[in-house]
């Protein structure tokens, strides 16, 4: 395993960007960090500044008010950065698809590495998604 991948997969600092969600996804993310699931066991922590982050976690359907901000956040992030679209809104916009103010699913705006569908996804689903992503990154590195 290369130094880069080994270092990155063992300590993920998450920056949580709420792009006009209904807050259900946010509540489930906070649930994943509470003592019941305790993601700090695996070195996953929430940070306050995008400069400290390795993961940009986006919830909600991106609309015209936040599209500039999410682009700016992606550009301000120190690379390499992993982008996670959490919840069906960020993945595919579900019922907001033809709304007058949405700007398309997240992967039309910034490159996305992981999709976690669900409305909202349960904490188990979030953890399973992150594990799948880490395994994929490690498998890609081995080739």
Using the minimum distance from each CB to other proteins, give the nearer residue, 20 or 37.
Answer: 37
111 is a site residue for other proteins (CB under 8 A): no
Find where tokens 């399973």 sit.
128
The least CB distance from residue 32 to other proteins, in Å, is 12
4 is a site residue for other proteins (CB under 8 A): yes
Sequence-separated (6 or more) residues with CB below 8 Å from residue 15: 46, 47, 49, 50, 52, 53, 55, 56, 57, 73, 77
User: Which SS3 state, helix, strand or coil, does residue 46 take?
Assistant: strand
User: Which of the 8 DSSP states describes residue 139?
Assistant: H
Q: Which of residues 43-72 bind other proteins (CB under 8 A)?
A: 43, 47-49, 51-52, 54
Q: Which of residues 20-39 bind other proteins (CB under 8 A)?
A: 35, 38
Q: How far apart (Å, rounded) are the C-alpha atoms in residues 18 and 133? A: 21
Residues that bind other proteins (CB under 8 A): 3-4, 7-8, 10-11, 35, 38, 40-41, 43, 47-49, 51-52, 54, 76, 78-80
């Amino acid at each position: 395993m290369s130094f880069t991948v080994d270092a990155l997969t063992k300590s993920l600092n998450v920056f949580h960007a709420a792009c006009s969600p209904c807050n259900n996804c946010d509540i489930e993310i906070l649930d994943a960090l509470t003592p019941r699931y305790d993601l700090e066991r695996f070195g996953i922590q929430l940070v306050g500044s995008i400069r400290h982050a390795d993961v940009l976690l986006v919830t909600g359907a991106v609309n015209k008010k936040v599209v500039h901000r999410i682009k700016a956040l992606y550009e301000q992030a120190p690379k390499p950065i992993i982008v996670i679209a959490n919840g069906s809104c960020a993945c595919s916009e579900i019922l907001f698809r033809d709304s007058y103010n949405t700007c398309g699913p997240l992967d039309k705006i910034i490159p996305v590495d992981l999709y976690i569908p669900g409305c909202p996804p349960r904490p188990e689903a979030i953890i399973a998604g992150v594990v799948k992503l880490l395994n994929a990154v490690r498998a890609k590195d081995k080739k």
